[in-house]
Every structure is written in C-alpha cells, then in structure tokens.
Copies of this chain bind each other. A is one copy, B any other.
Amino acid sequence: MRALTDTARRKDSVLVAGIDPVPSRFPKELRVLPEADATRQFCTGILEAVEHYAAAVKLQAAFFERLGPAGMGIYKDLIYAAKDLALPVVADVKRGDIGPVAAAYAEAHLGVYGATCVTVNPYMGEDAVLPFLEEARRQDQGGGVFVLVATSNPSASELQQSTDPPLFELAARLVAKLGESDGDYPDAGAVVGVTRPEIGARARDLLPEALFLAPGYGAQGGDTSGVRTLLDRQGGGVLVNSSRSILYAYEVSNTDYRRSAREAARRTRDELRTAGAHL
C-alpha cells in the first residue's frame, strides 16, 4: 500500500476522492454534450480540482461500464491522467469471482487499465481474493486490494451482521490471513464504513494492522466520530472516501463545479486532519 501511504503522508491527507460520474447531476453546460464526452470532461475537471487535497482517487467502474466500450476507454484514460498527477487510483470494481476468472479481472483492472488498487467482494471466499493480491504483487506498483468487510449501505447488515459469527468478522479474518506487508500496511486492506461505529470498532479489533478504506463519509451520513472508531492504535490506518459531497458540491454552492469540488475536498481534508486521522 506504499503508493497510497506515500501520497497521504506527503499531503497530510487521508481523503480519497470518489469519482462517481452521474450525467444527470452534471452542471448544465455539460449536460448538453453526449454522455461520454460530458463524463470525460467532468471527471478530468474533478481530478484537477481534488489533486492537492486527496491522497488518492477512487473510480467507480459502474459509471464507465454503463457507457459501453467507449466508457471503458475513458476509464482507462482517467486512470492514466490521475497517475500523471501522482494520484494513486483505487478501481472500485467490487468484483467477486474465482480462480482464472478473478485473475482475468485482476489483470484487467490492475494491469490493462493500470489502477493501483482494487476493491474485491469476498462472498466466494479466499478463491475470490487471492488472485487479486497475486496480480497486485506482480504489478509491484505499491498497491493492493481492499476487501469488502462491513459496508456502509442501509441493507449491509442483512447478510454481514446477522449470523453467528457475523459474516463481516469472517471477511475480516480472511483479510488478516491473506495480507502481506510491504514494510508498512499489509497489501490486503478492508472496506469498513464509517456509519456503524460499533461494527467499525470490532473490525479494527480483528485487523489491528490493516489499512481501511472507509466509505459513508459526508453524503451517506458518516462523520469524524465514525472515523475515529476506525483508527488504529497510532491514530492511523484509515483512508476516508468521500464522493458525492465533493463531486456535486456545486449543486449547493452554485459556483463552478471544479471550484466547488476543490473547496469541498479541502474542507473534508481539513475536517479529517482535525479529527486526528493520518497515515
């Protein structure tokens, strides 16, 4: 996870800016363009806006996949554009398949498309996670894999928290088992939402060393107190994702979307600094 921790420390920021381009929410000067062109322009503007304040960006693959093959071309170009800005990229793909299929997804996103890290769904067990770690190790970009452990969505608890032992604990144990350290954080990290503090604290107990990617901050209702419960003993170990409240900040501020995104990214970085989160 060196690539992420290096930028986070250099910028003193634990913010991961999530890029979830929803064309119907683009500013009206972009809504007149074809969706693919508008998406490319919007995302490029956001990358430049968040560059100074974000430790990394997270691209939500679904919104590019929805644009067909051309969308995947934009996805690839944005990954390279981010890396040109020295921003590591988390490809938020949440793929969950096994063996050679998982290896093909891993090669696609970490190799062909060039992302630094990917998110992975552990429903199918170790077979679904290990091929991604192996590809990350082969690529040797200082990246890794974030495994879904305890997500921030309303129905997360239906499966993740309603068994004995809770499913999210099994997923956390899988992360602990598979990760290898590159001298800093292990290359298997965990997605743990900031919206359920008691679950987050338990995930931290099970994964004292791991890097967490924490969604749910801002638009989804999570705040700095939720972030604090995820911190490790050194006050580190957490990268916080914020997407919509940065991307669409212009809807509230009524200024240029890039300027609003920049301002929202700066404010979020500062809030997280004030909460004591660092890597």
Contact = CB atoms under 8 A, between A and B. Distances in A.
Contacts of A94: 95-97, 121
A209 interface: no
A69 B66 contact: no
Interface in A157-178: 157-160, 162-167, 170-171, 174
Number of copies of this kind of chain in the complex: 2
B22 A126 contact: no
A89 interface: no
A167 B158 contact: no
Interface residues of A, number: 58
Contacts of A154: 127
B62 A68 contact: no
A159 B153 contact: no
Q: Most chain-B Cβ atoms within 10 A of its Cβ — which of A112, A123, A170?
A: A123
Contacts of A127: 153-156
Interface of A: 20, 22, 60, 62-63, 65-70, 72-73, 76, 92, 94-102, 104-105, 107-109, 112-113, 121-128, 148, 151, 153-160, 162-167, 170-171, 174
A244 to B, nearest CB: 9
Contacts of A155: 98, 124-128
Contacts of A96: 94, 96, 121, 123, 148
Contacts of A68: 72, 76, 108, 112-113
A130 to B, nearest CB: 9
A236 to B, nearest CB: 27
Contacts of A159: 122-125, 167, 170-171, 174
Contacts of A162: 170
A166 B113 CA distance: 37
